[in-house]
Amino acid sequence: MLKPLSVFIGLRYVRSRQKKGFSSFISASSTIGIAIGVTVLIVVLSAMNGFERALATHLLSVVPHGEVVAVNEPINQWRKNVDKIAQTPGVVAAAPFIKTQGMMQKSAALKGVEIRGVDVMLEQQVSAIASYITAGNWQDLARDNAIVIGAGIARKLSLQVGDNVQLLLPPSDAATRSGNKITQFPVPTKQQATIVGVFKFGGTIDDSQVFINLAKAGQLLGYQADEVQGIRLKVSDVFSAPQVVHDAAYSFDFYVYMLDWTRSHGHLFNDIQLVRLVMFIVLVLVIAVASFNIVSTLIMAVNKKKSDIAILKTMGAKPSTIMASFMFQGLMNGIMGCILGASLGILISLNLTEIIRAMEAMLSMEFLSADVYFIDYLPTLLRQQDVINTVTTALLMSLLATIYPAWRATKVEPAQVLGQS
C-alpha cells in the first residue's frame, strides 16, 4: 500500500531509533510517562464519577432531597398538603414528619439522638431506610412505643432488637405552662420504647438517627392528630432540588422554611468537583512533562539525521514534508502511550472496586470505614467522554511537543551540511 512520503520517512526513523540505546531509552521514557499519566487520569476521573453516583443514589436515598418545615404553627391537614405537594412538577413523592432532639437512655448510659416521627408506609416512598434494616422489621414501627435505631447507637449502648430503652424529649408547649405561668425548668418528657429494628447505612446517620411512628411523635410533642412539623420531598432530579423545593413551598398560604440536601450535604458534591479539577490539572501537567520528553528525542534525531535531511532537500523535498516526517515520528510516541494508557486505565477502572477490596483483604485494613464515610467501598463509573477527553489532551500535547524540533529540521542548510561531510 502506498504511503505519504512523510509517513514513510517517519516510520523509517522510528525503526532506526529503536536500535540505538540512548535515543531508544528517552523515547521509551516519554511513551511510558504518557501512558502512566493517561492511566491514572482515567482511573481518577472514574473514581470521582463513582463518588458522584454514590452521592446521588446511596446517600440521597436516605438523606432528604428537600423539606418544607412549619415556622410558627404546625402544618395541619397534612394528608391534604402531602397530596398537594406531590403534584408539584419534579416531585416524585412526599411524606410527613415530626422531628426533635432528645436523649436515649439504657441503664446509666445516655446518647444524644435525633428523633424522627414518620408515617411507616409513606416514608418508604421518599426514603430507602427500610432496605438498610439489618435486624428486626421496619413495618413493626407502626406498633405503639416502637423505635428503630442506627447500628452505631446500638453498638454504643449495647442494644438489640427487643430491648427496652427510655427516651428523654423536650417538653411540649403545654407541659411548659402551669396555669398562665411559664415553668422555668420544665421536666423533660419521658417515654419507654421497644427496639423493633436496627439499620446500618454508614457514616454519622447510624450514630444519631432514630425513628418512631408519626402518631406517637405527635402525641409526645403536643401535636393534634392531623398536624405535623414538616413534609419531606423526593424529587426526580436531585440537582434541581432547590428549585423544586422552592416551587413546593410557595404553594402554601403560610410561612414555611425551605430546606434541601445542598445545604446539609452539598459540600460533599463540591468537594468531589474540587478534587476532580485539582487532580485533572496535576495529571495533565504530568502528561505534559512526559510529552515534552519527545522534544529531546526529536532534537537528537534531527542532529543525527542532518545529512539525510540535506539529501532530501537537494532531491526536492518540501519543508512541509520534512516537518511532517519528524512530527509523525514524535506523534508515534504519543499514540503508543495513549493506546497503552487508555487500555490500562479502562481495565483498572472497570475492576477498581474489586482491586481495592483485594488490597484491603491482603493488608487487613479498611481504606473507607463505614463508621466515618457513607460508603465502605471505592465506587467507580467509567464514562466514554472522560476517556476521549484524556486521550485527546495527551495527543494534542504530544503534537505540540513535536513542532519545535520538526521546525528546526526544516532549517538545515544542505550546502553547509554536505560540505562538511
Per-residue burial over 68-101, b if 16 or more Cβ lie within 10 Å, else e, is: bbbeeebbeebeebbeebbebebbebbbbbbbbe
> Can you read off the three cell numbers belonging to residue 99?
422531628
Query: Residue 351 in contact with residue 378, Cβ under 8 Å?
Result: no
Closest CA to 30 of 347, 386, 340, 392: 340
Query: Residue 198 in contact with residue 210, Cβ under 8 Å?
Result: no
Query: Residue 339 in contact with residue 391, Cβ under 8 Å?
Result: no
- What percent of the chain is helix, strand and coil (3-state, nearest 5)? 55, 20, 25
* Residue type, position 223, single letter: Y
Reading the chain (421 residues) residue by residue, the pLDDT tens digits are 335 655 555 555 555 555 555 567 777 778 888 899 899 999 999 988 888 888 878 888 888 999 999 888 888 888 998 999 988 899 999 999 999 898 998 888 888 899 999 999 999 999 999 999 998 899 999 888 899 999 889 989 888 898 899 988 887 655 444 444 555 556 778 889 899 999 988 778 888 899 999 999 888 888 888 889 999 999 998 889 899 999 888 888 888 888 898 888 888 888 888 888 888 888 888 888 887 777 877 777 777 767 766 776 777 777 777 777 778 777 888 888 899 999 999 999 998 888 888 887 888 777 766 666 667 678 888 999 989 999 998 888 888 888 887 788 777 776 666 666 5
